[in-house]
Chain A
Amino acid sequence: MAQVHLRKIVKEYEGGVQAVKGIDLDIADHEFVVLVGPSGCGKSTTLRMIAGLEEISSGEIDIGGSIVNDVPPRDRDIAMVFQNYALYPHMTVYDNMAFGLMLRKFDKTEIKRRVENAAKILDIGMLLDRKPKALSGGQRQRVAMGRAIVRDPAVFLFDEPLSNLDAKLRVQMRTEIKKVHQTVKTTTIYVTHDQIEAMTLADRVVVMNHGNIEQVGPPQELYHHPRTRFVAGFIGSPSMNFMPAKLEGNGAALTLHLPDGIRLPIPAARTARYAPHAGKDVLFGIRPEHLTETRQTEHRANVAVFEAAPEVVEPMGMETLLHFWMQGHEICARFDPAVEVSPGQRVPMAVDMDQMHLIDPQTDLVL
């Protein structure tokens, strides 16, 4: 078990392209940290630098109290699970799991004990004599995890391990990974582009964009208190709605002026916070789950109502998504499936203003 510290880590490729632009990150012992972001944001490069598979252009990586910049991967006391499993195709499941221990000259009985223990944790005991080609995708991913567990490393590294699985299996394996972490409690760094995976697995989520860390925090904090427009839009599914607006009023009462003449009063609790921005253009951000049918918000304070005609209605079973356009901006609302809405029909929509976000369009920072 170990802490991991990244200090001003930079990865610059030939031609001056920077994949990672000087990030700092402290990961505590036993912590499950998920690096999440869109393709090309530098999350996988960061993980590979921690693993020792990519050289660091500048900065320091500290694993368990030692600077490992120039330490080869085999001596970093880490284990990695790859997206495509990377199982050795000519070896049985047992040999795949035992390979790292054999190279480290472990005693045969100890290897057997560790492999059987890992197989028990992952419920793959009956697969030990099979070759990887005789396994399903989910079973292969379990074996890849087993190969990491037997090593009992200081840090587990996961590089998009569920991306090759179908949707149903992905949900199942997600639970498995969480269960395994709760059992072995090894410090884990997990890379994914799927924000749902990040939210469900992480103790803390690291949102990356363009080689920088946008925000680090527990999933709920990122969801409720995003610091930037990128984090606000990236976390949550369907993603947050953004509408151009103007903040009008004086210090005592503020109102948001939205397109189509919609006026939304700012809750009193937020007036002081937003007062310095009165008179300015802002972006109004609201999540689809906070833009609902009026019945859900009957007894709540700070609810504003406006009417809109959805152009697309998507019944999802447990909810119905309504899509409408406001001056070229697509807006999504989340309605109770019991409320019947037809495309084109004007319906009242309740905005929970306690859940609103205002973003400065110049800086993209949440106000």
Chain B
Amino acid sequence: MSATAIPASYTGRKLGSLRSERRWALWVAYASLIIACIIFLAPPFYMLVTSLKSSAEISNLSGNPWLVKAPTLENYIELINNPLFRGFFWNSIIITVCVVIISMVVSVLAAFALARMKFWGSQMLATGVFLTYLVPDTLLFIPLYQIVGGLGLLNSIWGLVLIYPTLTVPFCTWIMIGYFASIPKELDEAALIDGANWMQMLTKIFIPVALPGIIAATIFAFTVSWAAFVYPTAFVTTPDQMPLTIGVVSQLIRGDTFAWGQIMAGALMAALPPVVVYAFLMDYYIAGLTAGATKG
């Protein structure tokens, strides 16, 4: 009845307007994406271009800074052959591996307890864990300096291994609480009846089922640890203890002399591990964050 009452012309106009609305939405979407790509990709592109130039070409202001006339790998070769740079890399690897292991052990155990073992104050504690993440590291490094100094770990990578988890554990725990909470309660009840204790339930059921969440949390801990800048700047002073982030900046800038080619090459090489990790595990990262956001 109602279908025949609608004039054909009306239906046509409606469809037409829908098509034009969609076209507009696509235009806006593509324009936004192009602008976003330019904003985000311009710095790494400039870094790549500069890292492939010789010092002479960089200091020559007459050419277009976005183009390379004579590409060269000399900046990369010099850095790789520099034992100091290899030391920065090695320090970053040690710190990151240790921090990721500590963060994941602590946050998985904490999240399991907070999500599943209901005890007095567990809800408040879970909120408290997240709130600590909201305190910026620039506020924390002064009191932490006192603590690390008191422990005799100033100017040591082990001091960084000790304090980086203050950045990683709260957020990793939050991601894992969300993930564990999304696992049906019947699964742990079935495991309890099957004869599992809490630890077996965690290791044999929860960890394998929550693997995407664990991967997401691991990527987060890895990224934070690899890219940390404020804490190493404050706590480490000698080159042999520096990670990549401050090593590249502090050792390749001598007074007012900037080794731009090597700085850019060093920064690109430092960015490579996170890029590789994200390229392979992006889907897990998104899945893990989504579970935490919607079901946490």
Contacts of B186 in A (CB 8 A): 82-84, 86
Q: Is the CB of B190 within 8 A of A80?
A: yes
Task: Provide the bound-state CA to CA distance between A99 and B193, in Å.
Answer: 11
Q: Is the CB of A82 within 8 A of B190?
A: yes
Contacts of B200 in A (CB 8 A): 103
Q: Mark B204-229, 1 if CB is under 8 A from A, else 0.
A: 11001101000000000000000000
Q: Is the CB of A51 within 8 A of B209?
A: no
Q: Is the CB of A86 within 8 A of B187?
A: yes
Task: Provide the bound-state CA to CA distance between A204 and B205, in Å.
Answer: 37
Q: Is the CB of B192 within 8 A of A53?
A: yes
Q: Is the CB of A88 within 8 A of B192?
A: no
Task: Provide the bound-state CA to CA distance between A181 and B208, in Å.
Answer: 34
Q: Which of A74, A90, A103 contacts B208 (CB 8 A)?
A: A90
Is A100 interfacial (CB 8 A cutoff)? yes
**Number of A-B residue pairs at CB separation under 8 A:** 57
Q: Is the CB of A100 within 8 A of B209?
A: no
Task: Provide the bound-state CA to CA distance between A72 and B200, in Å.
Answer: 15
Contacts of A82 in B (CB 8 A): 186, 189-190
Q: Is the CB of A74 within 8 A of B190?
A: no
Task: Tell me the A residues contacting B by CB distance below 8 Å.
Answer: 51-53, 72-74, 78-80, 82-84, 86-90, 99-100, 103-104, 147, 151
| Closest chain B CB from A244 CB (angstroms) | 43
Q: Mark B52-64, 1 if CB is under 8 A from A, else 0.
A: 0000000000000
Q: Is the CB of A73 within 8 A of B193?
A: yes
| Closest chain B CB from A81 CB (angstroms) | 9
Among the interface residues B192, B194, B195, which one has the most CB atoms of the partner chain A within 10 A?
Answer: B194
Q: Which of B193, B209, B211 contacts A88 (CB 8 A)?
A: B209
Nearest 6 A/B pairs, CB to CB:
A100-B194, A86-B186, A86-B190, A103-B195, A74-B195, A90-B208
Q: Is the CB of B193 within 8 A of A79?
A: yes
Contacts of A88 in B (CB 8 A): 187, 190-191, 205, 209
Is B259 interfacial (CB 8 A cutoff)? no
Q: Is the CB of A100 within 8 A of B189?
A: no
Q: Is the CB of B195 within 8 A of A90?
A: no
Q: Is the CB of A104 within 8 A of B195?
A: yes
Is B184 interfacial (CB 8 A cutoff)? yes
Is B163 interfacial (CB 8 A cutoff)? no
Is B196 interfacial (CB 8 A cutoff)? yes
Task: Provide the bound-state CA to CA distance between A52 and B194, in Å.
Answer: 12
Of all chain B residues, the one with the shortest Cβ separation from A148 is B193
Task: Provide the bound-state CA to CA distance between A72 and B198, in Å.
Answer: 12
Q: Is the CB of B195 within 8 A of A84?
A: no
Q: Which of A80, A87, A89, A90 contacts B189 (CB 8 A)?
A: A80
| Closest chain B CB from A83 CB (angstroms) | 8
Q: Is the CB of B184 within 8 A of A74?
A: no
| Closest chain A CB from B208 CB (angstroms) | 4
Q: Is the CB of B193 within 8 A of A74?
A: yes
Contacts of A99 in B (CB 8 A): 191, 194, 204
Contacts of A53 in B (CB 8 A): 189, 192-193
| Closest chain B CB from A49 CB (angstroms) | 13
Q: Which residues 159-205 of B sit at the A interface, judged by CB distance below 8 A?
A: 184, 186-187, 189-197, 200, 204-205
| Closest chain A CB from B226 CB (angstroms) | 30
Contacts of A90 in B (CB 8 A): 208-209, 211
Given A53-B189, A80-B189, A103-B200, are A86 and B184 neighbors across the interface (CB < 8 Å)? yes
Q: Is the CB of A72 within 8 A of B192?
A: yes
Known: A74-B195, A74-B197, A82-B186. 5 other contacts (CB 8 A): A74-B192, A82-B189, A86-B186, A88-B191, A151-B194
Of all chain A residues, the one with the shortest Cβ separation from B192 is A73
Of all chain A residues, the one with the shortest Cβ separation from B183 is A89
Q: Which of A51, A84, A87, A89 contacts B193 (CB 8 A)?
A: A51
| Closest chain B CB from A71 CB (angstroms) | 12
Contacts of A72 in B (CB 8 A): 192
| Closest chain B CB from A109 CB (angstroms) | 19
Contacts of B194 in A (CB 8 A): 74, 99-100, 103, 147, 151
Of all chain B residues, the one with the shortest Cβ separation from A80 is B193
Contacts of B192 in A (CB 8 A): 52-53, 72-74
Contacts of B190 in A (CB 8 A): 80, 82, 86-88, 147
Contacts A/B (CB < 8 Å), 10 sampled: A51-B189, A53-B193, A73-B193, A74-B195, A80-B190, A82-B186, A86-B190, A99-B204, A103-B200, A151-B194
